[in-house]
Structure formats: C-alpha cells, structure tokens
C-alpha cells in the first residue's frame, strides 16, 4: 500500500466512525467539567495501567480495583494485591497508583483539576504531567492519553502503532524518540498537513 492509499484509508476510517468519535469526545469533555474528582483519577489510573498492555486488560483491571472505591482508600499493599489477581505489572504499577494518589491527596485535595488548571493550555499541562517526578508511569504518550480522556482535544497520542505507520510513510525518522521537542514537530506537521487534508476530504 503506497502512502496516498494509507492516508486515504485513515481518512476513510475516520469518516466511517465520525459519529462515534464525536459522541465519545463529548463524553470525555463532561468528565473534566462535570465529573467527580474520583472519575478523573480513575482515568489517570487507566492510563497508567494501559501503558505496555491492551486497552481491554486495562479497562478490566480498572473495573476490579475501583470496585467500592478500593483504589481510593486502599494501602499500597492492598492495591498491589488486587492488581496481582489480573495484571502482569502489579508491583510497579501498584506503587505508581498509590504514590500518585497520595501526591494528589496531599497537594490538591484529591482533585487533579486543581493541578491541570494551573497551566495555560493543554500542551503545557501535558508536558508538565509527563515531567512531574511525583507522577510516575505517566510519560508523554500516557499524559496525552489521560488529558484526551478527560476532554482535551488538541493532543496527539503517539502510540507504537501510530509511530510505526509514520515511519513506514517516512514522516518521521526510524530512530524517532518521544521527546517534547519531537512532539511539537509533529504538532506543526499535523496542523500544516494532515488535519487540513482530512477537512478537505470531509467537506
């Protein structure tokens, strides 16, 4: 499949699922504006668990550890114990979840909106979350994923599949790294080319 056909297939998939995407996007927006602090925290937990595994497993695991709000009140050992029942990286991710919960509790009264609202825009928020040493397990991709899931629409989630396709199409070099600088380069590219191309096809 040549590059034009690949782009055509992406645009076709977007157009086919446009209504679903719009509906889901509106649901995401309500989480940040209307959701409870725990709803936003659960999205962060999901993104921590989704890194390096499937979305299905992460969703299943979140459902288990959020039952009766366990993850909000449990000790680190209790969180790890629950994760061990269904999740491969239970020790490391369990510690990440516990530590970020305690950090948000101590500094933001368990409302992560207070942290996010400190920043002027979503790009700065994404970069700061990714670089915050108190929020482990959340890099550039996961922080973009988290912010998208709570209603921010202008951030790319550059996962392994997206990066692989972009390398195939020579849009990025083979040794591309997920740094802040490289994310900004891709933002410029999307604004100048891909997004405009999609709009042309859909109008």
Taking the C-alpha atoms of residue 100 and residue 36, their distance in angstroms, rounded to an integer, is 17
Place of tokens 């679903």: 20
Residues in the chain: 203
Tokens of 156: 């790319």
Q: What's the first-to-final CA gap in the chain, in angstroms?
A: 25
The answer to whether 84 and 92 have CB atoms below 8 angstroms apart is no
Please confirm, yes or no, whether 159 is among the known catalytic residues.
yes
Catalytic residue among 8, 39, 154, 159: 159
Judged on CB neighbours under 10 Å (0-12, 13-18, 19+), 182 is middle
Q: What are phi and psi of 159, to 5 degrees?
A: -85, 180
Annotated catalytic residue within 136, 141, 177, 185 = 141
Burial (Cβ within 10 Å: 0-12, 13-18, ≥19) of residue 100: buried
167 is catalytic: no
Catalytic center residues = 141, 159
């Amino acid at each position: 499949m040549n590059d034009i056909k690949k782009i055509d297939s992406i645009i076709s998939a977007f157009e086919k699922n446009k209504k679903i995407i719009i509906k889901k996007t509106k649901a995401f927006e309500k989480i940040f504006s209307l959701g409870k602090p725990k709803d936003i925290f659960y999205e962060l937990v999901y993104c921590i668990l989704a890194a390096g595994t499937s979305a299905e497993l992460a969703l299943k695991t979140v459902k288990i550890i959020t039952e009766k709000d366990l993850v909000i009140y449990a000790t680190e050992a209790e969180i790890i114990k629950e994760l061990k029942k269904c999740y491969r990286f239970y020790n490391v991710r369990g510690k990440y979840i516990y530590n970020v919960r305690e950090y948000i509790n101590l500094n933001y009264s368990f409302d992560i909106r207070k942290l996010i609202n400190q920043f002027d825009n979503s790009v700065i928020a994404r970069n700061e979350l990714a670089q915050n040493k108190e929020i482990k397990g959340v890099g550039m991709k996961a922080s973009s994923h988290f912010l998208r899931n709570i209603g921010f629409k202008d951030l790319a989630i550059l996962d392994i599949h997206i990066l692989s396709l972009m390398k195939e199409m020579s849009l990025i070099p083979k040794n591309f790294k997920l740094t802040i600088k490289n994310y900004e380069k891709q933002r410029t590219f999307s604004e100048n080319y891909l997004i405009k191309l999609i709009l042309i096809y859909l109008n």
